[in-house]
A and B are shown apart, each in its own frame.
Chain A
């Protein structure tokens, strides 16, 4: 299903990723304050954006599944959650690599870091539910409910974690509102990296989605075979 589309997304991912790598390592000027390590920013921020995109898709797929009861929405939510989890992990890892030289520590309970960790745990729970439950319509409904409730919880998590860390003395001085992207080449690099990671996400998501669709169709065919509707 969508074989041609899949190849096109794959090709676009390859081209954009090469362009992003070139821009990050060769084209863009080194940031004045942080030096060479700041280049990880062009990976970290697009990865964070893709994570939120994926987890947003999980909730939207959940709503549509509960509304329309078509298993395509269930497969879509599952594929989005799995690929989102990959990017959420990458976000924590790249953030940690960036934090060590700049903040002097791999991990700190800063509000954004804490929010991301809680998100990671939340969608980890979602995937454990998927893994433990059998592949039935009940599981699809339960996963949809967890996906929706989890997404609704995210704004409260963000507000509470931010308040938690503003009342406590800040462990570190976070960057000011602007990222200091004065140079237009920095903005161009960020935009290309954004496109590259969005394409990478779409590609991984589409591969997983196609696999899940195939699995759903096989199990439906097996059911029909068992019922004697086809075969012989």
Chain B
């Protein structure tokens, strides 16, 4: 079986599981909804509309729902020793990483479309071109977070209190993408020219490349057994 075929079959398994249970997507979307509602209550009335608070709220929702999704994905693989079976199969750990990354990315992207719609409603923004220009920012952010969280969730899943450990490891590492994502999103929502976003998109891209490549290379060290 080639690496590509293996990747597709693992990804198909994850997508089929998700289509039948809907667990990850429902959890991600409902948690995002709750975070947005909490933030609207937490913010002063003056900050309840406009591009900047909306961008901030969107990324808070992205980080915390993403964390939950990553923990879920690892737990699902640990149930019934599925991860061991995957490791015993003639599949390269790097391929396994790519498949898990692709699955998390798809779930996060779906959840984010829903989150963006809710954000537009809650923060009194317009459904316009700004939303479309948000797409590359959100997709790059989701890819970076999925790459980071897939690697780190494999680590935290093997320790006691792993669900506690994951945010402690993931949030500081995600800081550059978070800063770039919030800044680029608020520029996109405020209708600023693309040049205002360019530097931030570069940082997001650099972050994505770094974590996809290091996850790809290092995943075998965190899932392997001696």
Contacts and interface: CB of A to CB of B under 8 A. Distances in A.
Interface string B215-226: 000100110111
Interface in A145-178: 145-146, 148-150, 152-153, 156-157, 159-161, 163-164, 167
Nearest to A136: B226
B132 interface: no
State the main secondary structure of chain B at its contact with A.
helix
Nearest to A137: B226
Contacts of B226: 137-138
Interface residues of A, number: 34
Contacts of B165: 125, 128-129, 132
A129 B155 contact: yes
Nearest to A66: B221
Interface in A106-125: 118-119, 121-122, 124-125
Nearest to B211: A149
Contact of A122 (B173, B177, B179, B180): B173
Nearest to A156: B176
Contacts of B177: 160
Given A156-B210, A163-B203, A145 B151 contact: yes
A157 B176 contact: yes
B68 interface: no
A181 interface: no
B207 A138 contact: no
A122 B173 CA distance: 7
A143 to B, nearest CB: 9
A133 B160 contact: yes
B225 to A, nearest CB: 7
A132 B151 contact: no
A134 B159 CA distance: 7
A229 B32 CA distance: 57
A156 B172 contact: no
B172 A145 contact: no
A202 B180 CA distance: 37
Contacts of B199: 163
B210 A159 contact: no
Interface string B139-183: 000000000000110011011111011001101110111011001
Contacts of A144: 221
Nearest to B158: A138
B9 interface: no
Chain A interface, >50% SS class:
helix
B214 A141 contact: no
A142 interface: yes
B150 to A, nearest CB: 12
Interface in A61-84: 66
Given A148-B218, A156-B203, A163-B199, A132 B161 contact: yes
Nearest to A161: B179
Given A125-B168, A138-B158, A163-B199, A149 B176 contact: no
A16 B214 CA distance: 41
Contact of B214 (A126, A129, A149): A149
B208 to A, nearest CB: 10
B221 A164 contact: no
A137 B221 CA distance: 10
A121 B171 CA distance: 9
B206 interface: yes
Interface string B183-197: 100000000000000
Interface of B: 151-152, 155-156, 158-162, 164-165, 168-169, 171-173, 175-177, 179-180, 183, 199-200, 203, 206-207, 210-211, 214, 218, 221-222, 224-226
17 contacts: A118-B175, A121-B171, A128-B168, A129-B159, A129-B168, A133-B158, A138-B158, A139-B159, A146-B152, A146-B169, A148-B214, A156-B176, A156-B206, A160-B179, A160-B203, A161-B175, A161-B176
